[in-house]
Protein backbone atom coordinates (compact mmCIF):
# COMPACT_ATOMS: atom_id res chain seq x y z
CA UNK A 1 0.00 0.00 0.00
CA UNK A 2 1.37 3.45 -0.89
CA UNK A 3 2.31 5.70 2.02
CA UNK A 4 1.05 9.27 1.75
CA UNK A 5 2.57 12.21 3.63
CA UNK A 6 0.23 15.18 4.07
CA UNK A 7 1.10 18.78 4.93
CA UNK A 8 0.28 19.94 8.47
CA UNK A 9 -1.86 22.80 7.16
CA UNK A 10 -4.14 20.31 5.40
CA UNK A 11 -4.27 17.86 8.29
CA UNK A 12 -5.34 20.65 10.65
CA UNK A 13 -8.49 21.19 8.56
CA UNK A 14 -9.76 17.61 8.91
CA UNK A 15 -10.58 15.98 12.25
CA UNK A 16 -8.82 12.66 12.78
CA UNK A 17 -6.53 13.17 9.76
CA UNK A 18 -2.88 12.24 10.27
CA UNK A 19 0.32 13.46 8.60
CA UNK A 20 1.12 9.93 7.36
CA UNK A 21 -1.48 7.53 6.00
CA UNK A 22 -1.49 4.35 3.95
CA UNK A 23 -4.04 4.05 1.15
CA UNK A 24 -5.06 1.56 -1.49
CA UNK A 25 -4.60 3.20 -4.87
CA UNK A 26 -2.94 2.52 -8.22
CA UNK A 27 -2.42 6.14 -9.27
CA UNK A 28 -2.35 9.65 -7.78
CA UNK A 29 -6.02 10.22 -8.67
CA UNK A 30 -6.86 7.08 -6.70
CA UNK A 31 -4.86 8.48 -3.77
CA UNK A 32 -6.90 11.69 -3.92
CA UNK A 33 -10.16 9.74 -4.09
CA UNK A 34 -9.20 7.59 -1.12
CA UNK A 35 -8.19 10.63 0.94
CA UNK A 36 -11.57 12.20 0.11
CA UNK A 37 -13.39 9.00 1.07
CA UNK A 38 -11.73 9.11 4.49
CA UNK A 39 -11.96 12.88 4.95
CA UNK A 40 -14.74 14.32 2.77
CA UNK A 41 -13.71 17.59 1.17
CA UNK A 42 -9.98 16.85 1.11
CA UNK A 43 -9.90 16.21 -2.63
CA UNK A 44 -11.49 19.62 -3.23
CA UNK A 45 -8.58 21.20 -1.32
CA UNK A 46 -6.04 19.33 -3.48
CA UNK A 47 -7.67 19.15 -6.91
CA UNK A 48 -9.40 21.60 -9.18
CA UNK A 49 -11.76 21.10 -12.10
CA UNK A 50 -10.72 18.75 -14.83
CA UNK A 51 -9.64 17.15 -12.51
CA UNK A 52 -6.16 18.54 -12.03
CA UNK A 53 -3.85 19.17 -9.10
CA UNK A 54 -4.39 22.69 -7.77
CA UNK A 55 -1.81 25.30 -8.76
CA UNK A 56 -0.24 25.68 -5.31
CA UNK A 57 -0.17 21.96 -4.49
CA UNK A 58 2.78 19.77 -5.44
CA UNK A 59 2.64 15.98 -5.49
CA UNK A 60 5.72 13.78 -5.58
CA UNK A 61 5.76 10.01 -6.05
CA UNK A 62 9.00 8.35 -5.02
CA UNK A 63 10.79 11.70 -5.22
CA UNK A 64 9.53 12.68 -8.69
CA UNK A 65 6.94 15.38 -9.40
CA UNK A 66 3.67 13.69 -10.37
CA UNK A 67 0.37 14.29 -12.13
CA UNK A 68 -2.96 12.66 -11.30
CA UNK A 69 -2.30 9.90 -13.84
CA UNK A 70 1.06 8.94 -12.27
CA UNK A 71 1.11 5.29 -11.23
CA UNK A 72 1.80 4.45 -7.59
CA UNK A 73 3.03 1.05 -6.46
CA UNK A 74 2.51 -0.83 -3.23
CA UNK A 75 5.79 0.51 -1.85
CA UNK A 76 5.50 4.03 -3.26
CA UNK A 77 5.87 7.10 -1.07
CA UNK A 78 3.63 10.00 -2.01
CA UNK A 79 4.34 13.49 -0.66
CA UNK A 80 1.63 16.12 -0.98
CA UNK A 81 3.05 19.57 -0.33
CA UNK A 82 1.86 23.13 -0.41
CA UNK A 83 3.94 25.33 -2.68
CA UNK A 84 6.25 27.87 -1.10
CA UNK A 85 6.33 31.22 -2.81
CA UNK A 86 6.97 34.87 -2.20
CA UNK A 87 9.90 37.13 -1.58
CA UNK A 88 12.63 38.20 -3.91
CA UNK A 89 16.39 38.18 -3.80
CA UNK A 90 16.32 41.82 -4.90
CA UNK A 91 13.66 42.88 -2.38
CA UNK A 92 14.63 45.96 -0.39
CA UNK A 93 15.57 45.34 3.23
CA UNK A 94 13.21 46.54 5.91
CA UNK A 95 14.76 48.10 9.00
CA UNK A 96 14.64 45.84 12.03
CA UNK A 97 13.67 42.75 10.03
CA UNK A 98 17.07 41.52 8.82
Q: Indicate the fold that domain 3-82 takes in CATH.
A: Ubiquitin-like (UB roll) (3.10.20)
Q: What is the pLDDT of residue 15?
A: 86
Q: Flag the least confident range among 24-33, 57-66, 86-95.
A: 86-95
Pick the residue with more confidence: 96 or 67? Answer: 67
Asked whether 53 and 46 are in contact (CB, 8 A), the reply is: yes
Average pLDDT, the chain: 89
Asked whether 87 and 40 are in contact (CB, 8 A), the reply is: no
Q: What is the pLDDT of residue 59?
A: 97
With a cut of 60, say whether residue 76 has pLDDT above it.
yes
The full set of domain ranges for the chain reads 3-82
Each residue's pLDDT tens digit, 18-53: 999 999 999 999 999 999 999 999 999 999 988 899
Amino acid sequence: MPTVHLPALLVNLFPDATRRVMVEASDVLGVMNELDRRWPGMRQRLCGAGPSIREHINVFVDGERATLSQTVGDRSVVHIMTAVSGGSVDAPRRPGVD
